């Protein structure tokens, strides 16, 4: 079974907007407001969070600008509620925010691929990303030994192994 998960940081933006409708920015009340609702979301109570916002709309006399913000937040949460299965994701050890992926993309891809003047074919970019992954994961030496042995066997099948002294440092720096 596969399902999409709404990035928790997008939801938290809405929670903070709602908190600031009722509490001063930077206040402990605003922080508690967000913490309470975030806890409910993380434990699977999306409906209660939406219901709570709806109650605020119906039971409190609110200025039109605050009503408008809450209505937008309620509509957003309703529209995305099926993608807010944070309790399931957390139970299975799945990430619920994009920070890990964004950080990996920045470190693995952007830092090398987006240097000034760089142009990449799809095949070349994929090869570079694979080599950077091996290097970043600390597997360069094992990979390089495996690669040299595999290439030698491919190019010279049946020949006895020989010592392969290549400029590993220079090749590693190229990646």
The per-residue pLDDT for range 111-159, each reduced to its tens digit, is 777 777 778 888 988 888 888 888 888 998 999 888 888 888 888 887 6
pLDDT at 164: 54
Q: Is 26 left (phi over 0), alpha (psi -120 to 50) or beta?
A: left
Q: Contact 37/15 with Cβ under 8 angstroms?
A: yes
Q: Residue 174 — very low, low, confident or very high, per pLDDT cuts 50/70/90?
A: low
Q: 54-101: per-residue pLDDT in tens? A: 999 999 899 999 999 999 999 999 999 999 999 999 999 888 987 766
- The C-alpha atoms of residue 91 and residue 111 are separated, in whole angstroms, by 33
């Amino acid at each position: 079974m596969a399902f999409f998960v709404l990035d928790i940081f997008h939801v938290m933006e809405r929670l903070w907007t709602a908190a600031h409708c009722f509490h001063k920015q930077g206040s402990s009340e605003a922080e508690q407001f967000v913490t309470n609702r975030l806890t409910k979301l993380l434990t699977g109570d999306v409906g209660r969070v939406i219901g709570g916002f709806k109650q605020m709309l119906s039971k409190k006399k609110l200025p039109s600008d605050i009503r408008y913000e809450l209505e937008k937040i309620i509509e957003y949460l309703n529209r995305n509620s099926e993608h807010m299965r944070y309790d399931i994701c957390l139970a299975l050890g799945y990430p619920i925010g994009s920070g890990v992926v964004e950080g990996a993309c920045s470190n693995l891809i952007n830092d090398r691929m987006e240097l000034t003047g760089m142009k990449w074919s799809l095949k070349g970019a994929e090869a570079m990303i694979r080599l950077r992954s091996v290097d970043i994961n600390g597997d360069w030496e094992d990979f390089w030994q495996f690669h040299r042995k595999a290439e030698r066997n491919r190019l010279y099948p049946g020949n006895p192994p020989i010592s392969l002294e290549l400029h590993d440092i220079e090749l590693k720096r190229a990646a």
